[in-house]
Amino acid sequence: MIYDAIIVGGGFAGLQAAIQLGRYSAHRVLVIDAGGGRSNLCRTYHNILGWPDGVSGEEIRTRGRRQAELAGVEFISDKVVKADKYGQLFLLTGERGQQYESKTLLLATGVMDRFPELPGLVPTLGKSVYVCPDCDGFEIQDRQTVLLGSGDAGAHMAFILRERTGDLTYINHEHEPVSEDNLTRLQAEGITYIEQAATQIVQENDGMIIEVALQDGTHLPAERGFIAFGRNAVHSELAAQLGVTLHKNRHIEVNRRSLMTNVEHLWVAGDVAVHAEQATVAMGEGAIAGIWMHKELKKINPIVLPLSRSAALSTKKR
């Protein structure tokens, strides 16, 4: 089976592209989804149009998959571990050896935040503990906030969050060095700095942080939290296998108009690309990629328009 388009990744970018491509009704589209991902961890997005009370990443993905399936898009659960291109076709291999072929390819493989295995942390993610100051800085406005991080990566996040709240504590959980300049700035901006490991995030009401327990037995009260550990995993391995140009931070470089890479008929959308790493941006990029994939597929597979009823009857009579 040779698909017209394969999308690797079933997050926001991949699903939006699938919906866009499926609704053209002219292409056979497959989404290969390994599950998990950044959006599945976020329990409540508050900055997405139409969801003022918040919506979980899991719900958006469930609804998005159903919407794509209604448009004829196929889905399979697998993790693609190898990508090749021979001639004009892409050949993908899953972790169990299953192979998939397509004329066009979209990589929407995303990014995964690095954070410690800390009791109580995961249930709070996206509910009261956040990762993106642009998406969720609003949630900590004038609230008692604890930032868990590592070294200068955490310090830089602290400076951004300081614009939102005057009650901010940065816990350098991994004891990574912080530069002298950043230490001086933390003190100057009134940010409490603690170089000590946390042992637990204490939460109530299904994900609302109330305090952070430290190694020395101290408990720091908190209304909201952030994490910033740096060195997040950028899932650009498949792109590298295909010879795609990577940015110095391993995100994937694309044509800013079409989102096609330097490899013909290979597109990228979402957090794995060089962009702002936001849910709404990922959705927009998915739609853009889907539109341009459709344009290219029309060149590869010219669409034969169906005859009108009267034209069909006329042809039949002749």
Whether the pTM exceeds 0.85: the reply is: yes
pLDDT at residue 15 tops 70? yes
Which band of pLDDT confidence, cut at 50, 70 and 90, is reported for residue 151? very high
Cα atoms in the Cβ-side hemisphere of radius 13 Å centred on 47: 16
What are the helix and strand counts (H, E) for the chain? 9, 17
How high is the pLDDT of residue 309? 52
Average pLDDT over residues 258-282: 92
Average pLDDT over residues 200-219: 96
Which band of pLDDT confidence, cut at 50, 70 and 90, is reported for residue 108? very high
How high is the pLDDT of residue 40? 84
Predicted confidence (pLDDT) per residue in 77-106, tens digit: 999 999 999 999 999 999 999 999 999 999
How high is the pLDDT of residue 96? 95
CA quadruple 313, 314, 315, 318: dihedral sign: positive
Predicted confidence (pLDDT) per residue in 112-127, tens digit: 999 999 999 999 999 9
| Cα 249 from Cα 263, distance rounded (Å) | 19
Strands 145-149 and 224-228: parallel
How high is the pLDDT of residue 304? 57
| Cα 131 from Cα 125, distance rounded (Å) | 8
| Cα 138 from Cα 50, distance rounded (Å) | 17
